C-alpha cells in the first residue's frame, strides 16, 4: 500500500533512483531517473518559485502583493500572475485576486492591471491567450432584487446579494491599462422552475444548456453559490472550460462568439451562443440524476490535455472528494462524447456522458490521498503526471505505471519557512497549483538556469543530481558482478571522474578516484548505492554486498 511517507517505495526506488534523502521532511523527498527533467513553478504569498528536480531555486519573482492563486510562465520567459488586493465592494470569495501582473525573467514588473471595483473582482484564475490577451475569471454582484427577478427562490437567498461569474478577455495596453475585447456572464444563461412570473422560467431538466439558479449544491445559499475556481482555454477548439466547486461540475462554452452573441443562445462556431456546450460531474444539478450519479466533489483545474501529449484532447481533473464519504481525492481523465471535434453529443432526457471517467488514479487506501480544496494535475511530455495535493503542499509525479518518481513538500508556511527536519504538518504550507515545464521549454532559451540554494535550510543534497532518462550520457555504463564480494568493476565508454558508495541513509561509506573499479571487501553485507560522476552529472545504481 502507498502511505503518506512511502517508506517501502522509497527503499525500492534505489534501484533506479538518482536522488533520494531518507532524512528529508520537506523539499525533495524523492527524485528518480524516470521523472521529467524540468522545472516546477508555484506561488505562495508574495513569491513565485521555479525549482529544479532537486528543489533548488532556478528563479524567484517577488511581488508587492500576495498571490491571487494562478501563475504562468510564458514562452518568452515572462511571468503572468494574479495578485490579491482589497476589494472596495467587500466581495467575499476565497481565492480573491483583483490584480494581474506581468514580470520579465529578471523580476521587473512590465505590466499591471486591476480588475476590482465595488461591483467586480478577478478571482482564482487567469489564462494567457495565444494572441497575447489575457482571460480572467471574475465575480460580479447581483443585488437581492436582481436575483429574485431572475427567479431565485427567496428561501435560497440567505443574504442581500448573489455573485455572478464572469469571464472577460483583456487586451493589455501600455504598462498599466487594458481594454475588454470579449465578455461572457453566467447570469445570461440561467433557468428556473420556481416562479412563472419571474425571468428565466422553464423546464430545468429539459434545458441542460442552462444553469438552474435554484440548485445550491453545497453552497448553502450564500452569495458565493457557484465558487468557480478555475478557467482554462483550448485554442484548437476555441472553447473555455469553467469549474464550479460548489455545484460539483464543470461547463464548456464557446469563445468564438461576439460579446453580444455570448449573452444569447445563438451564434458562434457551434451555434449556441454562450449556452453550455457540455457539462459534466453532477447531473442532479439539471434534474437528470440523483446523488448516486454525482462524479465530481469540489473539483479543481479541469482542462484539456495539450497537443502532443499522451491522451491529448481528453479532460484532466483533480477531483478533490469534498463531502464524499469517505473523503478522498482522485485524478480523473474524461473523454466527452463528440460527433466531431468540439461538438458534444447529448441524448434528450438523460445526463451528459460518459457514465464514468476514462481513467481514475487514487491510492490503494484511498484516504491516503486527499486535499479538500486547492490542487491540480498536469500531464507531462514524457507521459508522467504531476499532481499537486494542495492542502499538504505536496507535489508528486507518477509514471504511466502509477509509480511515484518524484516527490516534493513545500516548506513555506504562512509565517515561516521550515528547516529540514521540521514537521510540515505543523504549518499551513498549502499551494493552489503547481506546473512543471520541461527543460526544453522555449522560456528557458538563453536564460541563466544556474541553480541556487533550496528554499528550506539544512537540505541534505548529497544524493541529488539532475538527470533524466532522456539524458544518454550514462547509457553505455555497466557494473559487475552484482551481487559483489570484493572488487566491483565499471565498464564505461566515458571517463568516470569519481566513484562513491552510500548506505541507505545517504552516508558516504566508500569512494575511489579510479575510473573502472572499487574495492568493497571491507563493507558489511547489505544494500548500497553506487554513485558515478561524469562532467558534473551523476547516476546511481543499486548494488548488493555479499
Domains and CATH numbers, the chain: 7-192+301-439 (2.130.10), 478-545 (2.60.40.3080)
User: Looking at residues 421-433, what average pLDDT do you find?
Assistant: 94
Q: What is the pLDDT of residues 240-291, one digit of tens each?
A: 999 999 999 999 999 999 999 999 999 999 999 999 999 999 999 999 999 9
- The confidence score (pLDDT) of residue 310 equals 94
User: Looking at residues 422-439, what average pLDDT do you find?
Assistant: 95
For residue 11, pLDDT over 50 is answered with no
Neighbours of 144 (CB within 10 A): 15
**Gap between the Cα atoms of 71 and 81, Å rounded:** 4
Which cell numbers in the block locate residue 492?
A: 564505461
pTM across the whole model: 0.83
Best CA proximity match to 299, nearest among 242, 361, 383: 242
Q: What is the pLDDT of residues 197-207, one digit of tens each?
A: 999 999 999 99
- The confidence score (pLDDT) of residue 415 equals 87
For residue 534, pLDDT over 90 is answered with no
**Gap between the Cα atoms of 427 and 37, Å rounded:** 29
CB 293 within 8 A of CB 319: no
Q: β-pairing, 98-103 with 79-84? A: antiparallel
**Gap between the Cα atoms of 157 and 146, Å rounded:** 12
Q: Is the dihedral of CA 427, 366, 8, 10 positive or negative?
A: negative
The label of the residue with cell 471595483 reads 117
**Gap between the Cα atoms of 385 and 381, Å rounded:** 9
Mean of the per-residue pLDDT values of the chain: 91
Best mean pLDDT range from 382-396, 491-505, 528-542: 382-396
Which cell numbers in the block locate residue 403?
A: 509509480
User: Looking at residues 42-50, what average pLDDT do you find?
Assistant: 98
Name residues whose C-beta falls within 8 Å of residue 147's C-beta, 6 or more positions apart in sequence.
157, 161, 162, 213
The label of the residue with cell 558482478 reads 481
CB 353 within 8 A of CB 208: no
**Gap between the Cα atoms of 502 and 513, Å rounded:** 15
User: Looking at residues 94-120, what average pLDDT do you find?
Assistant: 97
For residue 75, pLDDT over 50 is answered with yes
For residue 22, pLDDT over 90 is answered with no
For residue 59, pLDDT over 60 is answered with yes
Q: What is the pLDDT of residues 441-453, one digit of tens each?
A: 999 999 999 999 9
Q: What is the pLDDT of residues 454-508, one digit of tens each?
A: 999 886 665 576 655 444 455 557 788 888 889 998 887 667 888 888 876 667 8
Peptide bond preceding 326 in cis form (omega within 30 of 0): yes
**Gap between the Cα atoms of 512 and 533, Å rounded:** 11
Q: Identify the weakest region by mean pLDDT among 32-41, 347-356, 406-415, 495-504.
A: 495-504
- The confidence score (pLDDT) of residue 17 equals 42
Q: What is the pLDDT of residues 336-380, one digit of tens each?
A: 999 999 999 999 999 999 999 999 999 999 999 999 999 999 999
For residue 128, pLDDT over 80 is answered with yes
Q: Cα separations (Å) of 191 from 147, 217, 228, 344, 441?
A: 12, 16, 18, 21, 45
502 vs 64, which has greater pLDDT?
64
For residue 34, pLDDT over 50 is answered with yes
**Gap between the Cα atoms of 320 and 308, Å rounded:** 27
Q: Which residues share a beta bridge with 143?
A: 161
Neighbours of 509 (CB within 10 A): 15
Instruction: Specify the long-range contacts of residues 185-190, CB closer than 8 Å, at least 24 apart.
Output: 185/140, 185/262, 185/263, 185/274, 186/211, 186/226, 187/142, 187/150, 188/262, 188/263, 188/264, 188/274, 189/265, 189/274, 189/275, 189/276, 190/150, 190/151
Amino acid at each position: 500500500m502507498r502511505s503518506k511517507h512511502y517508506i517501502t517505495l522509497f527503499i525500492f526506488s534505489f534501484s533506479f533512483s538518482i536522488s533520494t534523502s531518507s532524512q528529508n521532511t520537506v523539499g525533495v523527498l524523492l527524485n528518480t531517473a524516470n521523472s521529467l527533467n524540468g522545472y516546477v513553478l508555484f506561488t505562495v504569498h508574495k513569491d513565485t518559485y521555479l525549482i529544479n528536480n532537486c528543489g533548488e531555486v532556478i528563479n524567484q519573482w517577488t511581488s508587492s502583493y500576495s498571490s491571487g492563486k494562478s501563475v504562468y510562465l510564458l514562452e518568452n520567459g515572462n511571468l503572468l500572475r494574479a495578485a490579491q488586493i482589497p476589494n472596495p465592494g467587500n466581495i467575499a470569495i476565497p481565492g480573491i485576486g483583483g490584480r494581474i501582473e506581468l514580470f520579465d525573467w529578471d523580476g521587473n514588473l512590465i505590466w499591471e492591471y486591476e480588475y476590482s471595483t465595488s461591483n467586480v473582482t478577478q478571482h482564482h484564475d487567469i489564462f494567457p491567450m495565444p494572441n497575447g490577451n489575457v482571460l480572467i475569471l471574475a465575480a460580479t454582484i447581483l443585488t437581492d432584487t436582481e436575483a429574485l427577478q431572475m427567479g431565485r427562490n427567496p428561501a435560497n437567498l440567505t443574504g442581500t446579494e448573489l455573485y455572478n461569474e464572469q469571464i472577460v478577455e483583456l487586451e493589455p495596453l501600455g504598462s498599466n491599462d487594458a481594454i475588454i475585447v470579449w465578455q461572457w456572464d453566467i447570469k445570461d444563461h440561467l433557468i428556473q422552475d420556481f416562479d412563472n412570473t419571474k425571468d428565466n422560467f422553464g423546464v430545468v431538466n429539459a434545458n441542460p444548456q442552462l444553469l438552474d439558479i435554484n440548485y445550491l449544491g453545497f453552497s448553502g445559499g450564500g452569495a458565493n453559490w457557484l465558487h468557480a475556481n478555475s478557467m482554462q482555454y483550448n485554442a484548437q477548439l476555441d472553447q473555455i472550460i469553467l469549474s464550479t466547486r460548489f455545484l460539483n461540475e464543470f461547463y464548456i462554452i464557446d469563445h468564438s462568439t461576439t460579446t453580444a452573441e455570448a449573452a444569447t443562445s445563438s451564434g458562434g462556431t457551434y451555434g449556441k451562443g454562450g449556452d453550455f456546450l457540455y457539462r459534466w460531474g453532477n447531473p442532479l444539478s439539471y434534474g437528470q440524476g440523483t446523488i448516486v450519479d454525482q462524479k465530481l466533489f469540489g473539483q479543481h483545474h479541469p482542462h484539456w490535455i495539450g497537443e502532443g501529449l499522451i491522451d491529448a484532447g481528453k479532460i484532466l481533473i483533480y477531483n478533490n472528494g469534498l463531502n464524499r464519504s469517505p473523503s478522498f481525492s482522485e485524478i480523473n481523465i474524461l473523454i466527452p462524447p463528440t460527433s466531431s471535434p468540439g461538438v458534444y453529443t447529448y441524448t434528450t432526457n438523460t445526463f451528459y456522458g460518459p457514465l464514468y471517467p476514462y481513467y481514475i488514479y487514487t491510492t490503494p487506501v484511498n484516504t491516503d490521498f486527499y486535499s479538500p480544496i486547492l490542487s491540480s494535475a498536469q500531464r507531462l511530455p514524457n507521459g508522467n503526471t504531476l499532481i499537486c495535493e494542495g492542502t499538504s503542499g505536496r507535489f508528486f509525479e507518477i509514471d504511466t505505471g502509477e509509480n511515484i518518481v518524484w516527490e516534493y513538500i513545500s516548506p513555506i508556511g504562512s509565517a515561516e519557512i521550515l528547516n529540514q527536519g521540521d514537521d510540515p504538518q505543523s504549518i499551513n504550507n498549502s499551494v493552489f497549483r503547481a506546473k512543471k515545464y520541461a527543460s526544453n521549454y522555449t522560456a528557458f532559451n538563453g536564460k541563466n538556469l544556474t541553480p541556487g540554494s533550496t528554499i528550506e535550510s539544512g537540505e541534505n543534497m548529497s544524493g541529488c543530481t539532475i538527470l533524466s532518462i532522456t539524458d544518454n550520457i550514462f547509457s553505455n555504463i555497466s557494473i559487475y558482478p552484482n551481487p559483489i564480494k570484493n572488487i566491483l568493476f565499471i565498464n564505461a565508454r566515458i571517463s568516470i571522474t569519481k566513484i562513491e558508495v552510500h548506505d541507505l541513509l545517504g552516508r558516504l561509506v566508500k569512494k575511489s578516484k579510479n575510473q573502472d573499479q572499487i574495492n568493497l571487501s571491507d563493507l558489511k553485507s547489505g544494500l548500497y548505492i553506487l554513485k558515478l560522476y561524469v562532467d558534473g552529472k551523476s547516476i546511481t545504481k543499486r548494488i548488493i554486498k555479499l
